[in-house]
Amino acid sequence: MRSATSSYASRASIVLACASLGGIFVTEVYNLIVAELKVHPEGVSWLPVQPAAWRYTLLTGLTLLVFYVAALQCASTVAVVRRETNSWKWPLFQWLYLGMLAWVLAFLTRMVGRLLGAA
């Protein structure tokens, strides 16, 4: 139970890190900044990084979130499975299966988002 709890905590920290980087809500913030730049074409002094330097879109943020939700990120879970099974077969299977599942789900999220018109 402890390893499952730490796995959820690590996933939550990744989600919060993505959100704090501003990559997820970039479209709303970008629209606000564009409006400010129309009023002050010389630049926005309170913005630490200018909009041209931003790389994440809303779709990229959602894709990363889907990947991080499905991927096996907790090394202690792998260690416990290794100790309980006394073999590397199940930890490797678990890691490969969840890694591929996370990649496929993230890929599908990206493709569906693009089909719906998100950039």
Contacts 24+ apart (CB under 8 A), 46-55: 54/22, 54/23, 54/26, 54/30, 55/23
| pLDDT tens digit sequence for 9-64 | 555 555 555 555 555 555 666 666 667 667 766 655 555 555 555 567 788 888 98
pTM value > 0.85: no
**pLDDT > 90 in the chain, percent:** 32
Cα-Cα-Cα-Cα torsion 29, 34, 46, 28, nearest 10 degrees, comes to -10
Among residues 65, 53, 66, 46, the alpha carbon closest in space to that of 26 is found at: 53
Higher pLDDT pick, 68 / 11: 68
pLDDT category, 102, cuts 50, 70, 90?
Answer: very high
Q: Which ranges of 1-119 would DSSP assign to H, the alpha helix?
A: 2-21, 26-39, 58-70, 75-85, 89-115
pLDDT of 28: 65
pLDDT of 4: 46
pLDDT category, 89, cuts 50, 70, 90?
Answer: very high
